[in-house]
Chains A and B, each alone.
Chain A
């Protein structure tokens, strides 16, 4: 149980375009979802925390107008990278809580490459 999926797993896009990443909890209702970014050989960096039906809480230094988060239901959150630039190329990982006590379950990640 407690499976989180992400789609797409891998995307290449042109600079200036927008990319949407979906995160779904498949077998539980996610009370909270988190979005992380991870650059090569670095640790996970929390970008934002979202609760269903309310606005996401962004970490310091993360532009909310560039990284749009929508958490429309208890099983789906989306992250849209708007006007992507090459420096946005990274591994984006979502996680969700609600499938066990205090435990985060991670999606498989989305590798974004912006040309």
Chain B
């Protein structure tokens, strides 16, 4: 079983739509959780950290459910520029990071 699993998509949505991604992780000892965004042929960029209490940054909301071992990312009012691959990252021991395979999002006009 993979450490981190994501639906690869692609998710094809119209501009203005709300879209949600989930990611499950297998290690209950995981300590830190992140969403990264990767554009084609570019390096991943940190989108947001994910906290137990949930956190919001503009149109983006991240949630963590430790009991069910999943994290989610919600994007509201999708923009064309949101088209990218979204990577779920789980860390433990502060230096062991596991990446999901990514979920591809296509936002269409």
Residues of A within 8 A of B (CB): 31-32, 34, 42-44, 46, 49, 91, 93, 97, 101-109, 111
Contacts and interface: CB of A to CB of B under 8 A. Distances in A.
A44 B31 contact: no
A102 B91 contact: yes
B101 interface: yes
A106 B45 contact: yes
A45 to B, nearest CB: 9
B43 A43 contact: no
Interface stretch (B17-25, B64-72, B74-82, B92-100): B92-100
B91 A91 contact: no
Contact of B43 (A32, A93, A97): A93
Query: Which 7 interchain pairs have the tightest Cβ spacing?
Result: A43-B101, A106-B43, A102-B32, A109-B43, A32-B95, A44-B99, A93-B43
Interface in B85-109: 87, 89, 91, 94-97, 99-102
A93 B99 CA distance: 14
A87 B52 CA distance: 42
B46 A46 contact: no
Interface string B18-62: 000000000000011010000001111110010000000000000
B97 to A, nearest CB: 6
A8 to B, nearest CB: 14
A17 to B, nearest CB: 24
Contacts of A44: 44, 87, 99
B99 to A, nearest CB: 5
Contacts of B44: 44, 93, 106
Nearest to A109: B43
